C-alpha cells in the first residue's frame, strides 16, 4: 500500500495495491500496520458506511461531528468517480480554512484519510457512484454539523458548475465557516 501526505498536513492519500489476473483482482484496502506506520495507530475504526448516488452532481457535505464524537474517515470510491474534499477546521492550525481535493475512483483505487478536525464532502462526477468509508466513531445525530459547500472563503474549485449540483435540504442550509463556533483546536 502506498501513501502520500497532501498539501494540508494530516490528510493522507492511500493507494492499495491490486493483484490482478484473468479472474479479476485482490486488494487489501486497509491494514492496521500500514496505518500505524503513517503515525495513525491511535485511530480505530468502528463503523463502515456505504453510499450510492444515482446522478452525476450529487454533493454530500461538508460534514463533521463535534467532539467528543468527532470522526476520522477513510474514504474510497468503488464504483464511478468522485471529487473528495477535506477542509481544516481546527482553530489555531496554520492551514485553518484550507482544503485539499482529490479524485477518488474505482479506476484509480485511491483512498483518502481525513482526520478528526476536518469537514468532509464530495461530489459525484459520474452517474451511479458508490462510496465506502470507515469511521472512527459512530454516527451521533446530536453531534452532526456542517459548513456550506460553496462558502466563498474556502474557494473550493468543485469540478461541476453550481447549476449541476444536487443537494439535500440539510446541505442547502449549512452555515459558512466564519459562522460556526470553533469545535476543534490544533495541537502540535
Residues marked as catalytic: 63, 133
**Exposed/middle/buried for 169, CB within 10 Å: 0-12, 13-18, 19+?**
exposed
69 vs 56: CA distance, rounded Å: 31
- End-to-end CA separation in angstroms for the chain: 27
Specify whether the CB–CB gap between 51 and 69 falls below 8 A.
no
- Provide the edge-to-edge strand list for the sheet that holds 47-53: 2-5, 12-15, 111-114, 73-79, 129-135, 47-53
* Grid cell locating 180: 460556526
CB 104 within 8 A of CB 112: yes
Q: How many CB atoms lie within 10 A of CB 86?
A: 29
Amino acid at each position: 500500500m502506498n501513501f502520500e501526505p497532501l498539501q494540508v498536513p494530516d490528510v493522507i492519500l492511500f493507494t492499495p495495491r491490486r493483484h490482478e489476473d484473468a479472474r479479476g483482482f485482490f486488494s487489501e484496502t486497509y491494514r492496521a500496520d500500514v496505518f500505524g506506520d503513517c503515525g495513525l495507530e491511535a485511530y480505530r475504526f468502528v463503523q463502515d458506511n456505504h453510499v450510492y448516488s444515482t446522478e452525476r452532481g450529487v454533493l454530500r457535505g461538508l460534514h463533521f461531528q463535534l467532539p467528543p464524537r468527532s470522526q476520522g474517515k477513510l474514504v474510497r470510491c468503488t464504483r464511478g468517480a468522485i471529487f473528495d474534499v477535506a477542509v481544516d477546521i481546527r482553530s489555531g492550525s496554520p492551514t485553518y480554512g484550507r482544503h485539499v481535493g482529490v479524485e477518488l475512483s474505482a479506476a484509480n483505487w485511491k483512498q483518502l484519510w481525513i482526520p478528526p478536525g476536518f469537514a468532509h464532502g464530495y461530489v459525484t462526477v459520474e452517474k451511479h457512484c458508490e462510496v465506502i468509508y470507515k469511521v472512527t466513531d459512530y454516527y451521533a445525530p446530536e453531534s452532526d454539523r456542517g459548513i456550506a459547500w460553496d462558502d466563498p472563503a474556502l474557494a473550493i474549485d468543485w469540478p461541476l458548475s453550481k447549476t449541476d449540483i444536487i443537494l439535500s435540504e440539510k446541505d442547502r442550509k449549512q452555515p459558512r465557516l466564519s459562522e460556526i463556533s470553533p469545535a476543534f483546536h490544533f495541537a502540535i
